[in-house]
């Protein structure tokens, strides 16, 4: 191999209380797809932010095509030929596609020319996009196309992609991989960040594995088993959840023809959603983010009210009840957003225990708060769910993601729910905490609770659900038994490639090859 495109040696970056990157070194070759593999919190994002000039390393150095490279800001990095597609989109919802693209370029051409270039590039790479549309109206997959095209218009030498598939359906992932292979063929290097092993085995030439900020190994993914890579990534053996097969009981939660207009203008409306959940059963609801997950949780938790008889628990209509009336009936929920929705960031764990525990744990009398009771409830959660924290006086935002998530789930599980609805129970949580959370949900089901798990992690849903359905643009697919579902079937339930035909891309690919 010739001189590498980018050589990183000894990069270190520390934040108060945590070393995000500790002496990381690796090389990316020309026209190579290089994987950066690691769990959430392993330091992948910090590392690429240093390459992109958003974060300055504390020590270490980088060489770009053999000469020193220390971008002081993203502009300098872009000028050298680095482009980045962000995990959480760096897009502006109220602006149109062309304006969004222009903002990511150093010297954008006049708008009219830019719109033409966007059309050209998007057709070349099989990523159809209308430059005049407002980004707020686009689907998650389309938004990612905007980001990719923004990068491609600058003819990058290195394209960084941070968890690009987390917002895509399996079919859309196929299309993305086609695009990336074309880019590679044209000589572009790609730094591909993910924690999904199969993707990396399929796409990448080389992989660097990070754990707790350190480079713990390199491999050629095609020649390494997923199991070996997983062990490098996680570090210790995982406790896989055990699902004790229980016979499902009576129908507890019955949702019939539920439609709901969201209060937020950029939200998704729910359309004619119908399903039921039995005692002792876990229903897994998949789907790409932004297809009505938040709205469904709000409707079930009582934050949004629904018409009479659309929601029934044990035969009683609960659509008009607020969150606390539902808690009295044992209907509990844990929303996706930990900080700001499930918990108040600046409030103590005691106060956060009071937040949902007031009714079922009997933490008020005549409206006066029993602070001693709230503290002991918080202590129980901390103990039962192994929440690592100095004590219940600590503010929620001081906890790590995994610990706070254990607290949030534990708070609901310990209140003995008859129905529990959770959204993204293990998002951004380390593997050990994720396994513990999944196990607690399964234990709860074994005790006879009816559980709805909304998640974008298909592996997780396949592991713990008895039955599976998918949300797509506010509609729910048919519910099917989880056992025996293939990835293609799941993909189709999730809405396929959102109106795009895989075949068409293959045509485009053929055209691109002949052109």
Under the rule (CB under 8 A), what is the footprint of another protein? 15-17, 46, 49, 53-59, 70, 73-75, 77-78, 86, 88-95, 99, 102-104, 108, 265, 301-303, 322-324, 327, 333, 335, 337, 339-347, 351, 354-356, 358, 364, 367-369, 394-395, 397-398
State in angstroms the smallest separation of the CB of 340 from another protein.
5
Nearer to another protein by C-beta: 29 or 74? 74
State in angstroms the smallest separation of the CB of 199 from another protein.
24
**276 bridge partner residues:** 254
State in angstroms the smallest separation of the CB of 94 from another protein.
5
Residue 83: CB partners within 8 Å, gap ≥ 6?
150, 151, 152, 154, 156, 158, 159, 160
State in angstroms the smallest separation of the CB of 283 from another protein.
21
Nearer to another protein by C-beta: 89 or 177? 89
Dihedral (Cα; 290, 89, 185, 502), 10-degree rounding: 10
Nearer to another protein by C-beta: 255 or 363? 363
217 neighbors 383 (Cβ within 8 angstroms)? no
State in angstroms the smallest separation of the CB of 203 from another protein.
24
275 neighbors 255 (Cβ within 8 angstroms)? yes
**Strands 331-334 and 419-423, bridge-based pairing:** parallel
Handedness of CA 433, 400, 196, 169 (dihedral sign): positive
Tell me the C-alpha distance between 111 and 116, whole Å.
Answer: 9
482 neighbors 466 (Cβ within 8 angstroms)? yes
Nearer to another protein by C-beta: 250 or 337? 337
Nearer to another protein by C-beta: 301 or 440? 301
Nearer to another protein by C-beta: 74 or 217? 74
Q: How many CB atoms lie within 10 A of CB 186?
A: 12
- Quote the DSSP letter at residue 304: S
Which two structure tokens, joined as six digits, stand for 56? 């300055």
State in angstroms the smallest separation of the CB of 155 from another protein.
18
Tell the residue number behind the tokens 């549309």, with chain if given. Answer: 133
State in angstroms the smallest separation of the CB of 477 from another protein.
27
State in angstroms the smallest separation of the CB of 404 from another protein.
12
Nearer to another protein by C-beta: 28 or 342? 342
Nearer to another protein by C-beta: 3 or 75? 75
Dihedral (Cα; 41, 44, 45, 50), 10-degree rounding: 130
Handedness of CA 301, 323, 404, 363 (dihedral sign): negative
State in angstroms the smallest separation of the CB of 305 from another protein.
11
418 neighbors 251 (Cβ within 8 angstroms)? no
Angle at 121 between CA 117 and CA 127, to 5 degrees: 130
C-alpha distances out from residue 143 to 4, 128, 192, 367, Å: 32, 11, 18, 47
State in angstroms the smallest separation of the CB of 171 from another protein.
27
Nearer to another protein by C-beta: 76 or 181? 76
C-alpha distances out from residue 177 to 173, 202, 414, Å: 6, 9, 44
Q: How many CB atoms lie within 10 A of CB 328?
A: 10
Nearer to another protein by C-beta: 81 or 335? 335
């Amino acid at each position: 191999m010739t001189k590498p495109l980018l050589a990183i040696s000894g990069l270190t970056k520390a934040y108060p209380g945590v070393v995000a990157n500790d002496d990381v070194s690796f090389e990316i070759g020309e026209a190579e797809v290089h994987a950066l593999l690691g769990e959430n919190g392993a330091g992948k994002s910090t590392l690429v932010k240093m390459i992109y000039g958003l974060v300055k390393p504390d020590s270490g150095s980088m060489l770009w095509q053999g000469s020193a490279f220390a971008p002081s800001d993203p502009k300098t990095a872009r000028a050298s030929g680095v482009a980045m597609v962000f995990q959480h989109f760096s897009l502006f919802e109220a602006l149109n596609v062309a304006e969004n693209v222009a903002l990511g370029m150093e010297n954008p051409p006049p708008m009219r020319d830019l719109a033409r270039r966007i059309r050209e590039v998007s057709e070349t790479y099989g990523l159809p996009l209308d430059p005049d549309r407002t980004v707020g109206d686009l689907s998650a997959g389309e938004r990612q196309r905007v980001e990719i095209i923004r990068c491609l218009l600058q003819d990058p030498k290195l394209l960084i992609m941070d968890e690009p598939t987390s917002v895509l359906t399996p079919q859309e992932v196929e299309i993305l991989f086609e695009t990336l292979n074309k880019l590679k063929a044209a000589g572009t290097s790609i730094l591909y960040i993910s924690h999904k092993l199969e993707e990396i085995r399929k796409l990448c030439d080389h992989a660097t594995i990070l754990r707790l900020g350190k480079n713990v190994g390199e491999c050629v993914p095609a020649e390494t088993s997923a199991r070996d890579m997983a062990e490098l990534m996680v570090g210790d053996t995982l406790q896989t959840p055990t699902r004790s097969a229980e016979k499902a009981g009576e129908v507890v939660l019955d949702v019939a023809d539920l439609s709901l207009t969201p209060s937020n203008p950029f939200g998704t409306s729910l359309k004619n959603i119908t399903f039921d959940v039995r005692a002792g059963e876990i229903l897994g609801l998949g789907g790409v983010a932004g297809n009505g997950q938040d709205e469904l949780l709000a409707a079930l938790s009582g934050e949004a009210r629904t018409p009479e008889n659309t929601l029934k628990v044990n035969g009683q209509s609960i659509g008009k009840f607020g969150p606390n009336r539902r808690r009295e009936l044992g209907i509990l929920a844990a929303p996706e957003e930990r900080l700001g929705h499930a918990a108040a960031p600046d409030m103590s764990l005691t106060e956060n225990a009071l937040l949902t525990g007031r009714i079922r744990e009997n933490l008020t009398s005549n409206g006066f708060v029993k602070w001693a009771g709230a503290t002991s409830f918080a202590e129980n959660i901390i103990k039962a769910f192994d929440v690592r924290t100095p004590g219940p006086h600590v503010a929620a935002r001081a906890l790590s993601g995994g610990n706070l998530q254990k607290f949030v789930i534990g708070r609901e599980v310990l209140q003995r729910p008859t129905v529990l609805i959770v959204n993204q129970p293990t998002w951004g949580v380390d593997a050990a905490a994720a396994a513990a959370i999944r196990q607690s949900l399964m234990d709860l089901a074994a005790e006879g609770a009816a559980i709805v798990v909304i998640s974008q992690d298909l592996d997780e849903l396949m592991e713990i659900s008895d039955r599976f359905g998918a949300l797509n643009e506010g509609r729910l697919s048919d519910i099917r038994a989880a056992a025996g579902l293939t990835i293609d079937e799941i993909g189709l339930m999730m809405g396929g490639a959102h109106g795009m035909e895989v075949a068409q891309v293959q045509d485009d690919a053929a055209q691109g090859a002949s052109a």
